[in-house]
Chain A
């Protein structure tokens, strides 16, 4: 029978570990660059060229001056070489914004002896590793409701710092879902959670986040125990978020019912994601974290429409 453990909320200790783990993971992947298609309409300055003229630092092309343009834009040095007037254009450089949110609710602080690490550890590692990949790829990353989107070389440390700081607030209650604010168009959201709340509530949150056209990815972290229900005998189950308890005489008789409920729940989530064009992925903590990160990167790079 699988052994499970609910971690105590020793947050400081855990989060001090994550930056290193996340960096480790992230360095194994090449910089994550979101496809240029996404960037067309954003005006924000970015680090990498969008292969079109725009505001930027690096030279892109000279084009003939068209009448009616401001004369200040004429590149006199080039124009002097022949008798036409040229305008110097620079490559448009802009960054993409990705909002990453990891669930830190009590149900995440859960580990069984089948898993490699607790769910919350895995979620945080994934979130921070993704942030690092993205920032190195030139994107801006933020945590909805906690930070603005920004890019910095020490993004991992700074995000971890902010999260740690948040947990020290006296009134801090870890939320099960990200704030349901509408995200700006053409931004992307990555939500890493065990999604063990009400599917309707999750669907509502997705709907409102995507109301302005933002796209997103749901990554469901799950413990192998939650997948397989390896219990038997006289057992009292205890919920972690609420005081609910369930005492069963023969736990094994509950397995089939549970599996059915679980797949229904996932179907709901998948439907809710698909309805807004979001993706849904499942990640078990007995699998390596890199697997999930690779999948996420593919998703992000694929860009999926625009």
Chain B
């Protein structure tokens, strides 16, 4: 209305505004009440007639006030609504909803589903069928259905981790549009160019001809990780975004293979489209990072997976010749250093440190590179041997020293002297490299034509030589040989690391070969040979893949193995994730390294609509409140005009004020638990009682109170503990140390507690208190989906709390045996998981202990089963909330779980020792 997002549910009432002028005349003629005066001698003048009577008129401002008051009431009756729900579009045909479902739509997937659902339901109101097509579905047949079916299908849609080609859907759309001439098209787009969005929009505009196309797009475009690089100083994460508007800063978190947080780094785009986040961690920790993700950005694009290729090895290099500082280009160390530095930490021999190789080995190397060192003897040889046997990679380069004399630390037997190709005394031309054998780790590397070998050392032609050859010359003489020794590997390059024997060190191939070789030095336990074996496999099967929300999980059914040298963007068949055996996983990332995301510019003629429509606001309540305020003002003004204020004596005013104060205090006491919560701190110390956090959500608080009261009754009836009435506590104001157990139902809509309150909570937990966080979302949270609002809320709050490592309650945990023998901890629901502080790893002697406990009571128990709801019962024991799936047995089990937990918090690991009491008594008896 009038360009404002305002609508009236009963616009006819507005006609009453026409009556305002009449009201104006009536009000104008009605003067305010006169001043009233008691006057005892009145009867003396009672018979006098007024000599002059000037009729008092209502003052104009009072008149205006009253007219305004009347207008407000009329407006309120007309039912005004701010941001009315989108008026049904003037289309009659079916509604076609096109959903972008690639990873860029994942961060606001819920809003997208809502937007689509609203439009489908609105179409249904007009009696129009709807059709839904997700962009990843390709050439699926589109059929218009009723809204229930379409909505059901809409709920099953999930964002895909890959970007599908939208053009594939065009035939189906064309067919649908030709069948339904008057169809209306709504495209819920992700706003990015990827997946041929621009071509698609052009084609769609052509197909639609004069039909309106509503383009629904979010204001906020996603942020993605384009590449992650384990650079020299830190792990660098490249972040990209499509537009310069929106949130520019945030956090990137790194996790290891098991999902434990390794660190976090802040990023800030400023006004750029690209930025970097640096994880400044020690190299050992950096090598453990398997996953990097942008916090709060739940999409596959915001996750970067790291495999062995990202691990940064520590490589020690040593050369036989003394380094000539004045002429670095003559030193093999120079070439090695330059080639290795981009992907590994290079250690060099410090001059004044005794035996160079021994001192290098002290640095816990992954790879030891020896350039032209002929013979290693004595203690040094033993150490190198041990290094290789423990899984290290020894990479040796030939040279004049090696050609002269060698030891047993080479993969093949060598002939003395070597051979010279293309020299003055040789007929041969310098040789080129042959293509790498398929089983070689170098397989797939491009061989530049200009690389020539002029001199090399030769291997004796033993039977096992071909198996040990990784690279050979065009004439078949081996150039690189390798042998597995112990858990490690010895690799020999039959040329020097400098340019005297070949120009290999000048080529990019040299770097690639070094990279592959260094990458073989997997973790020292697994051994390089397995990795080697894995490398020989041609395809890698998917192990764990990302879904559209960026969560790792089991691969979908249509996922296929990738070829070993897989490059390129992921597809539906090759979703991003980890492929291959657990020891040698290969990561496929959503975005290619260096890939950018760009804003799509859509075809003209689309009607653009925002994704998030502002929620409609019913203005009635505020208008009536306003009218009431005006009414109060009017009342006071009338009183003032009649001189009523003067008649109020102070004593009366103070009495009135006292009354008002009393009433408001009473209202405060009635309305808030705040006043009620913990009257005197001393009282709380006298009895053991359960406590719950007053969240401010009346329903949750009532459920907590009743639930704990019911649990307290059960405890008093069945155990030696007779707790007092449960106490509601306010983190910010109440002393917590009196309570052994605090129950905290998470209400996601409540504001976060203050930092001080969280500190108090943290202290409470450190001092031995136990807090049960009940997210109560077992039915709504999806294990693979984004965290539910309650989980998000809890995570945000616990960010400042020192929470120990948690695990689902194991069967042997003492809490399952403190009073009842329990298998699981159910509440109103049974499907939720209950987490408790992880127990220390089982010792050898504890293997068959029936109950285990840590040193102290777990400070945190997190459940999602809504325990209080299951406990809650009225005074007669009648349950108050329905259970899922239900039944008295479940309620009883919930109570037993509560009893076990209370006893656990009060007795700690006592019960764990108690299971041995018979044995102890027997021993004492002897």
Which A residues contact B (CB, under 8 angstroms)? Answer: 1, 3-6, 107-108, 110, 194, 196, 223, 225-226, 231, 233-242, 244, 246-250, 253-254, 257-258, 261-262, 265
Contact = CB atoms under 8 A, between A and B. Distances in A.
A108 B40 CA distance: 8
Given A244-B46, A261-B44, A234 B56 contact: yes
Interface in B22-59: 31, 34-46, 48, 50-56
A226 B40 contact: yes
A254 B45 contact: yes
A3 B34 contact: no
Nearest to B45: A258
Contacts of B34: 234-236, 247
B52 to A, nearest CB: 5
B46 A249 contact: no
A226 B53 contact: no
A249 B53 contact: yes
Contacts of B35: 233-236
Interface residues of B, number: 25
B38 A258 contact: no
Contacts of A196: 40-41, 43-44
B54 A249 contact: yes
Contacts of B46: 239, 244, 246
Nearest to A5: B649
Given A248-B50, A249-B55, A3 B647 contact: yes
Contact of A194 (B36, B38, B40, B53): B40
A261 B45 contact: yes
A250 B53 contact: yes
A110 B31 CA distance: 29
A226 B50 CA distance: 19
B741 to A, nearest CB: 58
Interface of B: 31, 34-46, 48, 50-56, 646-647, 649
The 10 closest A-B pairs by CB, nearest first: A107-B40, A249-B53, A239-B42, A234-B34, A6-B38, A237-B39, A261-B44, A236-B34, A236-B36, A253-B51
Contacts of A257: 45, 48
B59 to A, nearest CB: 12
A246 B49 CA distance: 9
A279 B787 CA distance: 101
Contacts of B649: 5
B52 A258 contact: no
A241 B40 contact: yes
B870 to A, nearest CB: 61
Contacts of A6: 38
B37 A236 contact: yes
Given A6-B38, A258-B44, 10 more contacts: A108-B40, A196-B44, A226-B40, A237-B39, A249-B53, A250-B52, A254-B45, A254-B48, A258-B48, A261-B44
A144 to B, nearest CB: 23
A246 B45 contact: yes
A239 B53 contact: no
A240 B647 contact: no
Given A234-B34, A253-B51, A246 B42 contact: yes
Contacts of B55: 249
21 contacts: A4-B38, A5-B38, A110-B38, A196-B40, A196-B43, A223-B40, A226-B40, A226-B41, A235-B36, A236-B34, A236-B37, A238-B37, A238-B38, A241-B40, A244-B42, A248-B53, A249-B53, A249-B54, A253-B50, A253-B51, A257-B48
Contact of B40 (A3, A231, A240, A246): A240
A235 B40 contact: no
A235 B37 contact: yes
Contacts of A248: 50, 53
Given A234-B35, A235-B37, A238-B37, A249 B42 contact: no
Contacts of B37: 4, 231, 235-238
A257 B36 CA distance: 20
B465 to A, nearest CB: 124
Nearest to B44: A261
